[in-house]
Amino acid sequence: MIEGAELAAAYYTQRQGGDFYDFLRVSPTRVLFGLLDLAGRIEEARGILSTAQQVFRNLSSELFASEEVNEADAMVQIAIQLNRSILAAEQGIHPCPAFAGCYNEEVGTICYFNAGHTPGLLRDGGGVTELPATGLPLGLFSHATHDAPTVALPPDAALLLISRGVVEGKCKNEEFGLERAKQTFLAAPGRSAQETCAAILDQVQEFMCARPMHNDVSALALVRAAAAKAATASPS
């Protein structure tokens, strides 16, 4: 449960590769979420992703135990430790683009890092803004560093994360692409987080005229309620 917002994820049931998402509450006012896209087939990726999930959950709970935590410093530490865990667990080269964020319910902000992942898409009254990479993909270099900027999620705004499989969905050698994802996202105001994810996946399938089998196709959405709804949901 998130105060005044919704968080959901969706994917096609036929897993092909290393897409992985997770979210957990780490304090009374903060929820962490992440979408990883580990290179390689699911058989190769399963063990690495299991290790990464354990690190993500244990470290997040530890770093955000205090309400006075510096969110940017904590997110940078999560990126560092995830990177090290993937490097230690991999057998061969397994680059892992990743996007992870901390949503602060009190102020409606997201502190995040984007490790070479497909840009996050932030929709508000001004349109759709891309949240580009803040560092290299995980699993490549042991001393890679990442920035952790903070963005505001105003009432009635939403954040959408999509895996590479969404962007690379093809029809007659033409990719679905990031621009189509942005257009679908922009045309879906007022939808719940689950409906937002479903709209993207439906559009990819419709574009391809077939069930996606080329790669994992995943979406994660964080949708903040409109101001009036948020006020109604607030405790008296």
CATH of the domain at 100: 3.60.40.10
> pLDDT digit of tens for each residue in the chain (236 aa)?
799 999 999 987 565 556 789 999 999 999 999 999 887 666 667 788 888 999 999 999 999 999 899 999 999 999 999 999 888 886 666 789 999 999 999 999 999 999 999 999 999 989 999 999 999 999 998 888 899 999 999 999 999 999 988 988 888 888 899 999 999 999 877 889 999 999 999 898 888 876 655 567 899 999 999 875 544 444 43
Nearest to 3 by CA among 224, 227, 228, 236: 224
The CA dihedral of 115, 119, 120, 121, to the nearest 10 degrees, is 170
Pairing of strands 150-152, 174-175: unpaired
Domain that holds residue 42: 5-230
User: Is position 235 within any domain?
Assistant: no
Token representation of residue 24 = 């957990």
User: Is position 236 within any domain?
Assistant: no
Q: Structurally, how many domains does the chain consist of? A: 1
User: Is position 28 within any domain?
Assistant: yes
Distances from the Cα of 140 to the Cαs of 17, 83, 88, 137, in angstroms? 18, 8, 11, 7
Output the pTM of the full model. 0.89
CA–CA separation, 101 and 195 (whole Å): 21
CA–CA separation, 32 and 215 (whole Å): 25
Helix axes of 193-208 and 177-186: crossing angle, nearest 10 degrees: 140
